[in-house]
């Protein structure tokens, strides 16, 4: 899979490196034949916000035939995207490439008309600007990323990591995404439906604080009852303190996080095992197969059986 990443004068090294680190790790881990390249408005050289010069930037024509185009950020003044960039994004979209707008990168994606009438997300500081320029957008401040299948947008800065991991997960499965996350020492826990207003990011090591320790423990005991009382006890906190601290650290509630982790584990088991649906429901702590089917369908818009069949068909097609 060829993945083009847009580079421009003034982009930060962090924004430019996020999709490269995640997608190149797929190849480094031998999980898929993925290749990234940098392209810009013109071929040659750019200068980053930190003052570094980067050579070898390809021109817009390099985007032709790419499977994914990533706009990893945008100019801080929020200027409208030029005609050439808009045309490149539209042509790639028409050719069935996936278009990704990370952080302020949602601005040129919206300017290209690829988000008209659709929900979208960007860095919270750019919400007013984007809403004024594109009043037909349904901007959502309560999520980390939104995926329409053909177009994906994410909230600010580190949310780009979550969005890129999500793309790995949708293309290669939960197990591959978890391997990439572990290799990069980032948590694979954050799903799209979490607030971007996180007061304190989770530490990179699971033993750095009580919340991370509980999340790590709960992930290994999904088949067991995981009520708020059980989790609070594991964290040695009162339930009220635990709920408040958990939300501050993760941007979501303990119950929502546990449900998401169980569904993610169900998805992994559907991809990697032949276990019956009722067994998977028990192993994930969801209970009955009916509850699993209802929750899975609500979360992923597909039944567990259909997901298993589709995933295996996609893997077989990739191997061919």
Residue that has been written with the tokens 């061919």 in this structure: 320
The pTM of this model reads: 0.71
Between the alpha carbon of residue 61 and those of residues 6, 83, 147, 184, 276, the distances in Å are 12, 14, 26, 31, 48
Residue 99 bridge partners (DSSP): 69, 151
Residue 146 bridge partners (DSSP): 153
Which 3 state secondary structure label does DSSP give 256? helix
**pLDDT computed for residue 199 by the predictor:** 41
Spell out a b/e string for 77-98, using b for 16 or more CB atoms within 10 Å of the CB, else e. ebeebeeebbebbeebbeeebb
**pLDDT computed for residue 187 by the predictor:** 62
> pLDDT per position in the chain (320 positions), as tens?
999 999 999 999 999 999 999 999 999 999 999 999 999 999 999 999 999 999 999 999 999 999 999 999 999 999 999 999 999 999 999 999 999 999 999 999 999 999 999 999 999 889 899 999 999 998 887 788 999 999 999 998 788 998 999 999 889 988 888 889 888 877 654 554 444 444 444 444 444 578 888 988 998 999 999 999 999 999 999 999 999 999 888 778 899 899 988 998 998 899 889 999 999 999 999 989 999 999 998 887 789 998 888 777 765 555 55
Residue 3 bridge partners (DSSP): 36, 68
């Amino acid at each position: 899979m060829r993945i083009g990443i847009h580079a421009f004068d003034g982009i930060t090294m962090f924004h430019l490196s996020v999709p490269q680190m995640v997608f190149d790790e797929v190849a480094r881990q031998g999980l898929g034949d993925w290749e990234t390249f940098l392209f810009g408005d013109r071929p040659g050289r750019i200068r980053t916000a930190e003052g570094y010069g980067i050579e070898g930037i390809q021109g817009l024509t390099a985007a032709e035939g790419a499977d994914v185009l990533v706009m990893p950020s945008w100019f801080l003044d929020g200027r409208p995207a030029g005609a050439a960039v808009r045309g490149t994004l539209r042509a790639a979209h028409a050719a069935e490439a996936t278009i990704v707008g990370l952080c302020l990168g949602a601005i040129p994606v919206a300017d290209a008309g690829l988000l008209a009438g659709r929900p979208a997300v960007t860095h919270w500081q750019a919400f007013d600007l984007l809403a004024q320029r594109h009043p037909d957008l349904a901007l959502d401040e309560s999520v980390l990323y939104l995926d329409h299948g053909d177009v994906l947008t994410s909230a600010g800065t580190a949310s780009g990591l979550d969005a890129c991991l999500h793309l790995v997960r949708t293309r290669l499965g939960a197990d591959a995404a978890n391997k990439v996350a572990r290799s990069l020492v980032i948590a694979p826990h954050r799903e799209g439906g979490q607030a971007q207003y996180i007061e304190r990011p989770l530490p990179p090591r699971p033993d750095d604080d009580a919340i991370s320790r509980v999340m790590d423990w709960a992930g290994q005991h999904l088949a067991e009852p995981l009520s708020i009382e059980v989790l609070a006890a594991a964290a040695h906190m009162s339930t009220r303190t635990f709920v408040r601290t958990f939300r501050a650290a993760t941007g979501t509630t303990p119950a929502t996080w546990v449900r998401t982790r169980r569904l993610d584990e169900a998805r992994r088991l559907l991809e990697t095992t032949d276990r019956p649906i009722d067994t998977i429901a028990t192993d994930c702590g969801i209970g009955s197969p009916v509850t699993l089917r209802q929750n899975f369908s609500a979360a992923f818009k597909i039944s567990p059986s259909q997901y298993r069949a589709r995933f295996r068909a996609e893997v077989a097609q990739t191997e061919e």
